[in-house]
Amino acid sequence: MKRHLISAADLSRDDALLILDTAEELSLVADRPIRKLPTLRGRTVVNLFYEDSTRTRISFEAAAKRLSADVINFSAKGSSVAKGESLKDTALTLEAMGADAVVIRHQASGAPYRLAGWVRGSVVNAGDGTHEHPTQALLDAFTMRRRLGRLDGLRVVIVGDVLHSRVARSNVLLLRTLGADVTLVAPPTLLPVAISSWPCEVSYDFAATLPKADVVMMLRVQAERMNAAYFPTVREYSRRYGLDAGRLALLPDHAIVMHPGPMNRGVEIAAEVADSARSTIVEQVANGVSVRMAVLYLLLGGADLAATAVPATVVPATAVPATAVAATAVPARTTAPTTTTTEVSR
Amino acid sequence: MTGDGQAWLIRNARPLGGVPTDLLLNDGFIVAAGRGLSAVGAQVMDAADLVALPGLVDLHTHLREPGREDAETVQTGTQAAALGGFTAVHAMANTEPVADTAGVVEQIWRLGAQAGVCDVRPVGAVTAGLDGSRLAELGAMADSAARVRVFSDDGRCVSDAVLMRRALEYVKAFDGVIAQHAQEPRLTDGAQVNEGEISGVLGLTGWPAVAEEAIIARDCLLAAHVGSALHVCHVSTAGSVEIIRWAKSKGWRVTAEVTPHHLLLTDDLAVSYDPIYKVNPPLRTHADVEALRAGLADGTIDCVATDHAPHAAEDKETEWQVAAFGMTGLETALRVVHAAMVETGLLDWAGVADRMSARPAAIGRLDGSGTLGASGSLEAGAAPLHGRPIEPGSPANLVLYDPAASSTVDPAGHASRSRNSPFAGMVLPGQVVATFLRGTPTVLDGKLAR
């Protein structure tokens, strides 16, 4: 694997499968009484969040803590990137703190690439502007594989504001790498003009794509897009591109419904669909922690682990296989404090 | 400055890449050209194998003074110009304060005269404060000591069709030209990179070609309607070249420029998200680059203009979308044109002289035509003569260029106060060896002479 995870395109098929397999093993930790592994003890993971994103930040924080990393939450929310401390100066600060990994969420597309040029640690993209969100795509792929048993040849329909969606970009790239066939559905205004160069199909007819779909992924659509004339009204958007019970009925029985959250119930997805048995929305959140554990583990710990592995005999029976995690769990109450919260307000 | 009394005898230079010739410069003029010249008391310079071109004229330079002296000053900017082979630059109006009054353009003109290494021709703003709502006092700037003839809101488009029409009409009274920054503002709200494959993949707001082309088409029609002169700044798309070719075929008074960077670089450089490649208009596709080169070669695009846009480091060491637009270009322009146009066989050195000296001088009314009455001297109320052929009687504005040289671009060595060259690290051909402004060397041995 590369040193950073910024784009889903950074991952080869083998890399992606290794992450998914590792996540599968690590997910077992969640079922244990003590949900903690000492794998990243002494390593520092910084969550650098320039945008509000409670779910993604908490997911990364939980992942890092379950691996016993020291977690620093550096929240720059509310600060304009055009004012205050520059990203470069912040990067140099994190560098001085000895961050082994920086998880960055930023409103500017490409900000993680800039950061990677200024810090020595690994950079993990937790969503950059309208560019990419690779761990979301990994957790989506993880969820699909768990539910449907495979990714190769899977038919995935992604619906909504593709133009502004980092989730769509990462999913198209990753699913292509993993052998799935992606069809994008959106009003033409919400597709990039050069969409024909993407490795996927495009359709303006949502209903027509449904009978053959294994997965339908609904993207959040922002009502403000209406003001920029991307579509006439929220109601018309919902009517043409929303997933309601009627469209749900067009899906094959095995098909699942996904949404990266947060949802606009009644806009891109009807409440009864979101809450149906086909919906994996809550499951996606749980899977997010396992996938992010795998990413941090492989970027930070993977190389060292084999050398420091303890004998398998001391691994509790419920622990994950030694290939992924090879140390005994430490009781939580004896664990050193692992969280330093640095709220930076500017 | 009309020479410093020192005569120069340049031996065996090749005017426009032709046969070796001696050139005798005295009292600010070329006084003799031919084989085997001699002159008592003249400084002799061996220019064997060097191409002699008329001093280059840049129609589009941002000198940043007044207001952003941390990025560039008239002094450092004109030094950069001299090192690039320029003897005249047109200083764009988007300074702080804006060059929209006689007072400001005269200030810039005087700073240029004091720096003394390259003539500075102020460009006046079209609208007061560049706000696009009412005309600046164009006549006052034209009548000032700076004798402004080129007017532009560059950096912003005069998007209001009525205002553009009035500006084009108004400057007819003093033989002015409106240089339009063609960018339809609504189509480029928040735009970052050329709209196409790259913008879609990078998730950066696209800048459609049509935003440039629609304004150019409109302005050509307006210029034709009122019978005035339009100059199109930094043409960047294949479609723009087509529209300008069509307008010229009608006999309309439309001229156009292309930047060195649009002749060499493409939008895929943005994949690094390094804002060193962020520029307005944005870098376009390979097909656009090919069309721009062809347009410059066939004369549809009249000239090369640098759009030299220095920026302080902190304005470029940022996320892409908050970084400033612009690239430096004075010190690399001739070398980039050499690589893009001469090495490709699209232009010979006579063609380069035409596109980088004669034609921009004519558009800026510095070639002695029109009402400006440009002369070989630099006095208040007059304008200096540029873009003249290399022959006796012409002002001794010359650049001597070594086409066989080649080196890696290192902005750290540039005279410009800023370092935002997109060519950093690239190997480019050629080397400006010497520049003469009215008979006085401003550059010798590739270094500033004064």
pLDDT in the model for residue B381: 57
Contacts of A109 in chain B (CB under 8 A): 202-204, 273, 320-321
User: Which residues in chain B touch residue A202, judged by CB atoms under 8 angstroms apart?
Assistant: none
In this prediction, does ipTM exceed 0.85?
Answer: yes
Check pLDDT > 90 for residue A316.
no
- A2, A3, A55, A254: the active-site residue: A55
For chain B, 450 residues long, give each residue's pLDDT as a single digit of tens: 445 679 999 999 999 999 999 999 999 999 999 999 999 999 999 999 999 999 999 999 999 999 999 999 999 999 999 999 999 999 999 999 999 999 999 999 999 999 999 999 999 999 999 999 999 999 999 999 999 999 999 999 999 999 999 999 999 999 999 999 999 999 999 999 999 999 999 999 999 999 999 999 999 999 999 999 999 999 999 999 999 999 999 999 999 999 999 999 999 999 999 999 999 999 999 999 999 999 999 999 999 999 999 999 999 999 999 999 999 999 999 999 999 999 999 999 999 999 999 999 999 999 987 666 666 665 655 678 999 999 999 999 999 999 999 999 999 999 999 999 999 999 999 999 999 999 999 999 999 997
pLDDT at A19 over 70: yes
Q: Rounded distance, CA A62 to CA A152, Å?
A: 30
Q: What angle do CA A8, A126, A183 make, to 5 degrees?
A: 45
Residue type, B69: E
**Nearest residue of B to residue A111, measured between CA atoms:** B319
Interface test mutation site (partner A, options B201, B210, B269, max chain A beta carbons within 10 A): B201
Assigned fold of B55-363: TIM Barrel (3.20.20)
Q: Residue B186: list chain A partners with CB under 8 A.
A: none
Name the residue among A129, A131, A197 with its Cβ closest to that of B197.
A197
Q: Can you spell out the DSSP letters for B302-356?
A: -EE---B----GGGTSS-GGGSPP-B--TTTHHHHHIIIIITTTS--HHHHHIII
A194 and B204 within 8 Å at the Cβ level: the answer is no
| pLDDT for res A163 | 96
Q: Which of B314, B317, B321 sits opposite A108 (nearest CB)?
A: B321
Buried b (16+ CB within 10 A) or exposed e, A226-262: eeeebbeebeebbeebbbeeebbebbeeebbbbbbbe
Between chains, do B200 and A197 touch, taking CB under 8 Å as contact?
Answer: yes
Closest partner residue to A109 among B196, B197, B321, by Cβ?
B321
8 A C-beta contact, residue B333 and residue B118: no
Nearest to B319 among A110, A132, A169 (CB): A110
CATH topology of domain A134-281: Rossmann fold (3.40.50)
pLDDT reported for residue B450: 74
Domain A8-133+285-343 in CATH 3.40.50.1370: yes
Instruction: Tell me the nearest-neighbour CA distance from B430 into chain A, angstroms.
Output: 32
Q: How far apart are CA A100 and CA B239, in angstroms?
A: 49
Selected catalytic residue, list B219, B267, B268, B307: B307
Instruction: Give A319 or B290, the one with higher predicted confidence.
Output: B290
- Tokens representing residue A266 in the block: 């009644």
Q: What is the pLDDT of residue B371?
A: 64
**Residue whose token pair is 């304060």:** B97
For residue A69, name the pLDDT band (cuts at 50, 70, 90): very high
d(C-alpha B317, C-alpha B310), whole Å: 13
Minimal-distance CA residue of chain B relative to A167: B203
Q: Is A34 exposed, middle or buried (0-12, 13-18, 19+ CB in 10 A)?
A: middle
User: Any idea which residue has 């003093």 for tokens?
Assistant: B174
pLDDT digits (tens, 9 = 90+) for A27-45: 988 888 888 999 999 999 9
Per the CB < 8 Å rule, is B273 touching A82?
Answer: no
**Interface touch A193/B202, C-beta < 8 Å:** no
Rounded distance between C-alpha atoms, residue B297 and residue A36, angstroms: 68
Determine contact: B130 vs chain A, CB below 8 A. no
Nearest to B56 by CA among B112, B119, B2, B109: B119
Residue A308 has pLDDT above 90, yes or no: no
- Which residue in A16, A284, A244 sits closest to A147, CA to CA? A284
- Indicate the domain borders of chain A: 8-133+285-343, 134-281
H or E segment and range at residue B140: helix B138-143
Mean pLDDT of A35-57: 92
Residues 64-123 of A with CB under 8 A from B: 81-82, 86-88, 106, 108-111, 113-114
- Helical (H) or strand (E) element with A46: strand A44-49
Catalytic residue among A22, A39, A44, A56: A56
Tell me the longest C-alpha to C-alpha distance in chain B: 67
The answer to whether the beta carbons of residues A128 and A106 sit under 8 Å apart is: yes
Cβ contacts of residue A41 below 8 Å, gap of 6+? A68, A69
B22 touches chain A (CB under 8 A): no
Chain A residue with the nearest C-alpha to that of B200: A192
* Residue numbers in B near A194 (CB within 8 A): 195-197, 199-200
Residues 195-254 of B with CB under 8 A from A: 195-197, 199-206, 208
The answer, yes or no, to whether residue A91 has pLDDT greater than 90, is: yes
To the nearest whole Å, the CA of A164 is away from the closest chain B CA by: 7
- List % helix, strand, coil for chain A (3-state, nearest 5): 45, 15, 40
Written as six digits, the tokens of B275 are 């804002």
Rounded to whole angstroms, the Cα distance separating A138 from A56 reads 13
Give the model's pLDDT for residue A35.
Answer: 84
Can you give the pLDDT at residue A83?
57
- A8-133+285-343 shares its CATH topology with A134-281: yes
Handedness of CA B340, B342, B348, B350 (dihedral sign): positive
A189 touches chain B (CB under 8 A): no
Q: Is A128 on the interface with B (CB under 8 A)?
A: yes
- Please identify which residue in the block is written with the tokens 């190997």: B427
Phi, psi of A336 (to 5 degrees): -65, 155
**pLDDT at residue A228 in the model:** 85
For residues A190 and A219, the answer to whether their CB atoms sit within 8 Å is no
Q: Best interface-test mutation with B: which of A189, A193, A227 has the largest number of B CBs within 10 A?
A: A193
**Any CB–CB contact under 8 A between B317 and chain A?**
yes
Q: What is the mean pLDDT of residues A95-109?
A: 94
Question: CA-CA distance, B149 to B138, in Å (whole number)?
Answer: 9
Q: Sketch the domain layout of chain B as residue ranges.
A: 55-363
User: Which residues in chain A have their CB less than 8 angstroms from residue B274's CB?
Assistant: 114
- Work out how many CB contacts closer than 8 A connect A with B: 72
Q: In whole angstroms, what is the distance from residue B310 CA to residue B307 CA?
A: 9
DSSP state of B395: B
Active site residue A133: yes
Beta bridge partners of residue A158, listed in sequence order: A184, A217
DSSP annotation of B283 reads P
pTM, two decimals, is 0.91
Structure confidence at residue A325 (pLDDT): 40
Q: Do B322 and A108 make contact, defined as CB atoms within 8 angstroms?
A: yes
Is residue B176 less than 8 Å (CB to CB) from chain A?
A: no
| A window 141-180, beta carbon within 8 A of B | 163-164, 166, 169
Indicate left, alpha or beta for B403 from its phi (over 0: left) and psi (-120 to 50: alpha).
alpha
